[in-house]
Each structure stands twice: as C-alpha cells, then as structure tokens.
Amino acid sequence: MALIVQKYGGTSVANVEKIRHVANIIANHKKDGDDVVAVVSAMAGETDRLVKLASSIMDPPDERELDVITSSGEQVSSGLLALRLKAQGHDSVSYQGHQIRILTDSVYSKAKIKNIDANNIKKALSIGKVVVVAGFQGVDDDGNVTTLGRGGSDLTAVALASVLGADSCELYKDDVDGIYTADPGICTKARKIMKVSYEEMLELASLGSKVLQARAVEFAKKYKVKLHVRPTAKPKAEGTWVVEEEEAMDSMENILISGVTYDKNQAKITVTQVPDQPGIAAKLFSPLADKGINIDMIVQNISSDGLTDMTFTVPKSDFKQSIKITKEIAKKLGAREVVSDDKISKVSIVGVGMKTHSGVAQQMFNTFAKEGINIMMISTSEIKISCVIEQKYTELAVRSLHDSFKLGKKHGK
C-alpha cells in the first residue's frame, strides 16, 4: 500500500470522456490498495481562453486579477474529476489552493510555494477519500489568489508529494510516454529512458524536451521526490523515472550520456573587435538584462591587439530588439561591427556519466567533423556539452550523435 501523488495535464482532462479515463486509472490504484492524491490542470484550451478573454479587456492584464481568472480553470477540472470519482463509487473531495492553503509569495503569475498545510488532505485520505487538488494555484499571506506559472501543476504535485511524504509522484502525460534519448520525430532510433537523474532531466528539459516544468524538477531534486513520467493512454506501462543520481547510475544503462537534445529557438549575435577592457561584458549585457532578455551562451575569443570578439545567443523572439540594443552599445564601446544570425541551432548531449568519463566532448566534435558540420560555439557544463551549428544540420547532428553514443540500444545488455 503506497501513497501516490498523480498529476494529470490539461489534455488528460480535456473532456468528459478523458476525465472518466483518468478516474479509471485512479480507481485501479485504489483497487491495488494505494492512497491517491490527484493534481489536475485546467481542461485543455481553458487557460488560453481565459487569458485571451482577460487580455481583450486589459492588455496586458493586471496580474492579480489575471490569477483570479485563470485559476478558475483548475477549480472546474478538480470539481469535475471529484464528481466522476464519486459517480464511480469512490468517495472523493476537491481542494483549491485556499482550502489546503498552498501558501505562496505574492508574485502573481509566477508565485513560489512557501508552505502547504497538508492536514485536510491527510484527514481525507485517512477516511479513504481520493483527494483531488486544483493545480497551478495558491494563496498568499493575505489570501490573494496566486498562480505558479505555466506548467505549475507539475510543481503543485511535486510539492504535495514532498509534504505528504508520498512514495512517488506520477506525472501523467498525454503526448509522450516518457523521456526519450532524442526527439523521436527526427530520430527513429530514439529510445525511452528508464531512469534519469534530476540533473540530467533539468538539462534535458531546459534544452527543449518540454516534458516537465524545470522548477518542478528542481523542487523534486531538493526534496528527493521520486518522479515517474507516465503515459495517460497506457497507465500500466512504465514510463521514465526521474530520481537521484546514484539511483539513476545504478541502472546499467546510464554509462555515458542519457540523451541528445536541440533547440532551434536561439539566435546569435557577435560584436567584433571590442576593446578588451575590464567590465566590457557588464557594459554589453546589462542593458539586455534590463530589458528582460535572457542570454544563454556567451563566448569570448582570445584577445589580440587589445581587441576581442564577443558572441552570445538570445531567444529568437528577442532577436530584433537585442540587435538594436547591441548596436547602440557597440557604438559606445567603439566596437567594429555587430553581426547576427538566426539560422542556428543548439545541439546538446546530456549525461551524468560524462563527469567520470573523458573523451565525450572529443567524440561529439569528431562526430560533427565526420558529417561536415561546422561548430560555431561551444559551451560545457558538468553533465552537458552544447554546440551551436547551422540550423539546417540539426536533424543530421542529432541522429549522428545518437548513433555515435549508441543510444539506440541499451548499454551493457
């Protein structure tokens, strides 16, 4: 008998039929003797509809009121799932953020959870109820409604699992059945990963495998909540476990790297021949940061004749504004020129295994060289190596790395 926190996304509760399916999954767990807390997102499309409605009245909408409006989506879906469970004979109760007091700070639309009072939930579980919690929402100290940001229901589920000391936190997905070694859309040999560490998952998530909210994974890592990414359509199938590094390494498969990801949503800007003085980076990047532009990779070439080239990437959506700002600063700094390119792609390999294995970077570069793919920028971390390449080579790069690191078959078997 286990206590399981489950999270169902918007597509999983999109209509009456799908809500019934979710209730069946929960009913099966109950039959197995498990206690279940189910966290739900708003029915698919509902949050978008509400944001659009609000924006048609005030653009951008006041964030306090926007949170009041959007949180209604989870209120409805949580009530509906509780109804469905009751209709099937499983006593159930829904809770909103203000009822179990999911206490957050007051940063509307991206609030952080400070505390959860799990007493009501524990009481309900102790008398056999299935507890359905509205995801995404909380309240601040003054009782104002807050929301946790897009994908916030993942965070609600992980936080609840932590507070309740749940045995696991299952994240049911409608569009994927787990985490893959690469995007199956471009790499037919991509294989579902059985276990991955929190750190790897974070790198995989932020690099484009948008399966889990990064903050939820960070939270899970901090409080050691075991995550299980599972397909809603096949609720008995094992998905991917996201666990601590040691446990992830235990499974014989994680010898070197876990996956290959790519990101086509970056653009690259280079400022050439900047006078290489202390503080030059601050001068260049502060105005961009002030505008909320998120700079990802930064590469500075070795200085020659007191001049240096500075290259960095920004999200494509901020590309034009970034060029404008950069040109202004470049002029002030006495740089030669600003060149830019938005036909790029960032391809990365991720794996805790590379901590203890040398030669991984070399193998990546060799693979690109063999395919004639030119590397424009390189950035490395403990468990990740990223290369910026010409966008047209993205699929080729992913496939060849996948082959080179033998991700298509289970290692050690």
| 289 contacts its own copies (rule: CB under 8 A) | no
Q: Which is nearer to its own copies, 16 or 339 (CB)?
A: 16
Find all residues with CB under 8 Å of 70, minimum gap 6, and list them.
Answer: 42, 47, 50, 51, 54, 136, 147
Residue 363 interacting with its own copies (CB under 8 A): no
SS3 134: strand
Q: Position of tokens 């998120």?
A: 294
- The Cα-based distances of 24 to 29, 92, 194 in angstroms read 9, 13, 25
The yes or no reply on residue 255 touching its own copies (CB under 8 A) is: no
* Minimum CB distance to its own copies smaller for 8 or for 368: 8
Q: How far, in Å, CA of 189 to CA of 174, rounded?
A: 21
**Tokens matching residue 250:** 């235990």
Per CB under 8 A, 315 contacts its own copies: no
CA-angle at 346, arms to 343 and 351, nearest 5°: 170
Nearer to its own copies, 15 or 317 (CB): 15
Q: Among 33, 126, 143, 236, which residue interacts with its own copies (rule: CB under 8 A)?
A: 143
**If binding is defined by CB under 8 A, does position 146 make contact with its own copies?**
no
34/158 Cα distance (integer angstroms): 18
Binding residues for its own copies restricted to 66-105, rule: CB under 8 A: 66, 68-69, 71-73, 75-76, 78-80, 82-84, 86-87, 93-94, 96, 98-99
Any idea which residue has 């009913």 for tokens? 27
- Residue pair 91/123 in contact by the 8 Å Cβ criterion: no
List all residues 6 or more positions away from 353 whose beta carbon is below 8 Å from its beta carbon. Answer: 249, 254, 255, 256, 257, 258, 360
In the complex, least distance from residue 82 CB atom to its own copies, rounded to whole angstroms: 5
Which of 28, 45, 53, 306 binds its own copies (CB under 8 A)? It is: 53
Interface with its own copies in residues 17-36 (CB under 8 A)? 19-20
User: Whole-number minimum distance, CB 164 to its own copies, in Å?
Assistant: 19
- For 177, the token pair is 């059945």
Q: Give the footprint of its own copies on residues 384-403 (CB under 8 A).
A: none
**The pair of three-digit structure tokens given for residue 254, joined into one six-digit string:** 């994680």
Smallest gap from Cβ 93 to its own copies, in A, equals: 7
Positions in the binding site for its own copies (CB under 8 A) = 16, 19-20, 50, 53-54, 56-58, 61-62, 64-66, 68-69, 71-73, 75-76, 78-80, 82-84, 86-87, 93-94, 96, 98-99, 143-145
